[in-house]
Amino acid sequence: MAWDFETEPEFQTELDWMDAFVREEVEPLDFVLGSPYDIHNPKNQKIVPKLQGEVRKRGLWACHLGPELGGQGYGQLKLALMNEILGRSHFAPIVFGCQAPDTGNAEILAHFGTPEHKEKYLQPLLNGEIVSCYSMTEPHGGADPKVFTTRAELDGDEWVINGQKWFSSNARYASFLIVMVVTDPDAPPYERMSMFIVPKDTPGVEIIRNVGLITESEGHHAYIRYNNVRIPRNHLLGERGQGFAVAQTRLGGGRIHHAMRTVGQVKKAFDQMCERALSRTTQGEVLANKQMVQEKIADSWIEIEQFRLLVMQTAWRIDKYKDYRKVRKDIAAIKVMLPKVFYDVASRALQLHGSLGVSEEMPFSNQVIDALRLGIVDGPTEVHKVTVARQVLRDYKPAEGLFPSGHLPALREQAIQKYGELLELEVSSF
Ligand SMILES: Cc1cc2nc3c(=O)[nH]c(=O)nc-3n(C[C@H](O)[C@H](O)[C@H](O)COP(=O)(O)OP(=O)(O)OC[C@H]3O[C@@H](n4cnc5c(N)ncnc54)[C@H](O)[C@@H]3O)c2cc1C
């Protein structure tokens, strides 16, 4: 038997250190600094590199990476436990060198970059000296990449890119963009696109505007126009026409890391809900005594535990199979679950805090919107439900006859044929 839900004591020591470090040193940054990705901002520079140094000294820097890229090679299960802690603060991932979308972009560069790309883009990214952007979604459609129209055409030794991208997060701070572009419009739909590195300062990269979420004080999601952007021929990542396959390298890992961090965020909302239930009195007793409040707490706890276990099991499967294709269903399932659990728990926490809960003085309204955001980013919930259902149905086949294989009269008949004589039963007629 190898089902074990315990953490090794040595690793628990690291988690305990992280927990205290994030709580005391990192969480306060969310209140006093702007974007974690604005790494060259003098205010960020005053604090973040020092904290990153402490993480490095502790050997916890960029733990999503294998040792060949300077990480610990901890694997996804340990990473899940770490990300639960990091999920509590916007700044924690950057302090620990494991922030999206840089993690996924680094994976692409590690797999498909040339030695020159690795030196120029991957290494500084891993060192935390630069940040990057993933530019795929287009204004007229994101959930269906088959409708993308941004084109790259070869002109001598250069690719020339023209088109528009939408919601390219953190482009304003990025040194380079990884861009998915149509190179072969006449090929079958999943072989039309290719992936490129585009240095942000290349002439023709025009940020039309930075779109903001209602929860952000300024916009971070770039609406970009690529106007005759010329990049060297070897800035193609992977094979021509294999953009979808290259994208899968980053999306699997990216989605589970979102889920791991969400466990941390949801728990934070839940802790506040429980504290409130025990602190606030109405009609002569604490909220915690009211059965409808108890229901909120019980439902939330059960949902969080289910979600966390599915995240952990998926992480364990990734470590076991080392192949994201074998865990597509699991990753899609947690991608569906994460916005729902977050939304449900954050809205219950908001409700129990009454007027204070809905005000700007508590984090719950932001969390509710954040949950909705997570139901869209990296593909909407509906698309992931389709993936789960399709994958599940692969393990089934249609019934052979007119009636289902679970049709009770037939099962009864088979049972009587098997044991009828022994039990002296009569075969029924249909
Ligand atoms: C905060 C944030 C950050 C993002 N960052 C990036 C980034 O860095 N880089 C990047 O390239 N993109 C990014 N995106 C874009 C994101 O990937 C897309 O928003 C997402 O894929 C959905 O595309 P869309 O917005 O065009 O919606 P659409 O494709 O127009 O879909 C709209 C809605 O239609 C419904 N729908 C869509 N498909 C189906 C279906 N098959 N079945 C049933 N219903 C369906 C869903 O309800 C969906 O929400 C980001 C988005 C957000 C919100």
pLDDT in tens, 100-132: 999 999 989 998 999 999 999 999 999 999 999
Query: What pLDDT shows up at residue 427?
Result: 60
The total of structural domains in the chain comes to 3
CA 262, 266, 271, 272 torsion-angle sign: positive
For position 40, which CATH number holds? 1.10.540.10
CA of 147 to the centre of ligand 1 (A): 13
User: Is residue 230 domain-shared with residue 259, that is, in the same domain?
Assistant: no
Q: Reply yes or no on whether the pLDDT at 72 is more than 90.
A: no
User: Does residue 409 lie in a domain region?
Assistant: no
Mean pLDDT of 299-315: 97
Strand partners, 286: 281
User: Is residue 72 domain-shared with residue 160, that is, in the same domain?
Assistant: no
User: Is residue 224 domain-shared with residue 263, that is, in the same domain?
Assistant: no
Residue with CA at minimum distance from ligand 1 atom 32: 143
Query: What pLDDT shows up at residue 425?
Result: 84
User: Is residue 210 domain-shared with residue 259, that is, in the same domain?
Assistant: no
Cα–Cα–Cα angle for 240, 126, 43, nearest 5°? 125
> In whole numbers, what is the pLDDT of the chain averaged over residues?
95
User: Is residue 154 domain-shared with residue 95, that is, in the same domain?
Assistant: no
Q: Domain boundary at 207, 237, 267, which?
A: 237
User: Is residue 162 domain-shared with residue 201, that is, in the same domain?
Assistant: yes
CA of 132 to the centre of ligand 1 (A): 20
User: Does residue 255 lie in a domain region?
Assistant: yes
Strand 132-135 versus strand 176-182 pairing type: parallel
Q: Which domain holds residue 21?
A: 9-99
Q: Domain boundary at 237, 271, 297, which?
A: 237
Name the residue of 99, 167, 177, 218 whose CB sits within 8 Å of the most ligand 1 atoms, as the mutation to test its pocket: 167
Residue with CA at minimum distance from ligand 1 atom 33: 380
Name the residue of 137, 215, 218, 386 whose CB sits within 8 Å of the most ligand 1 atoms, as the mutation to test its pocket: 137
Whether residue 224 contacts residue 208, with contact meaning beta carbons closer than 8 Å, is answered with yes
User: Is residue 256 domain-shared with residue 387, that is, in the same domain?
Assistant: yes
- Residue keyed to tokens 């010329």: 230
Q: Reply yes or no on whether the pLDDT at 430 is more than 80.
A: no
Q: Reply yes or no on whether the pLDDT at 3 is more than 90.
A: no
Total residue length of the chain: 430
User: Does residue 124 lie in a domain region?
Assistant: no
Whether residue 92 contacts residue 62, with contact meaning beta carbons closer than 8 Å, is answered with no
Q: Reply yes or no on whether the pLDDT at 235 is more than 50.
A: yes
User: Does residue 3 lie in a domain region?
Assistant: no
Record the pTM: 0.93
Whether residue 379 contacts residue 143, with contact meaning beta carbons closer than 8 Å, is answered with yes
Query: What pLDDT shows up at residue 428?
Result: 57
User: Is residue 253 domain-shared with residue 389, that is, in the same domain?
Assistant: yes
Spatial separation of the C-alpha atoms in residues 127 and 329, rounded to whole Å: 33
CA of 142 to the centre of ligand 1 (A): 5
Spatial separation of the C-alpha atoms in residues 97 and 366, rounded to whole Å: 25
Residue with CA at minimum distance from ligand 1 atom 37: 143
Mean pLDDT of 183-208: 97
Mean pLDDT of 182-205: 97
Q: Reply yes or no on whether the pLDDT at 48 is more than 70.
A: yes
Binding-site residues, ligand 1, Cβ < 6 A:
101, 134-137, 141-144, 167-169, 213, 221, 373, 376-380, 382-383, 386
User: Is residue 72 domain-shared with residue 139, that is, in the same domain?
Assistant: no
CA of 181 to the centre of ligand 1 (A): 17
Name the residue of 374, 376, 381, 382 whose CB sits within 8 Å of the most ligand 1 atoms, as the mutation to test its pocket: 376
pLDDT tens-digit map of 337-388? 999 999 999 999 999 999 999 999 999 999 999 999 999 999 999 999 999 9
User: Is residue 51 domain-shared with residue 87, that is, in the same domain?
Assistant: yes
User: Is residue 272 domain-shared with residue 377, that is, in the same domain?
Assistant: yes
Strand partners, 413: none
CA of 143 to the centre of ligand 1 (A): 5
User: Does residue 412 lie in a domain region?
Assistant: no
User: Is residue 81 domain-shared with residue 41, that is, in the same domain?
Assistant: yes
Lowest mean pLDDT among 197-206, 295-304, 321-330, 411-420: 321-330
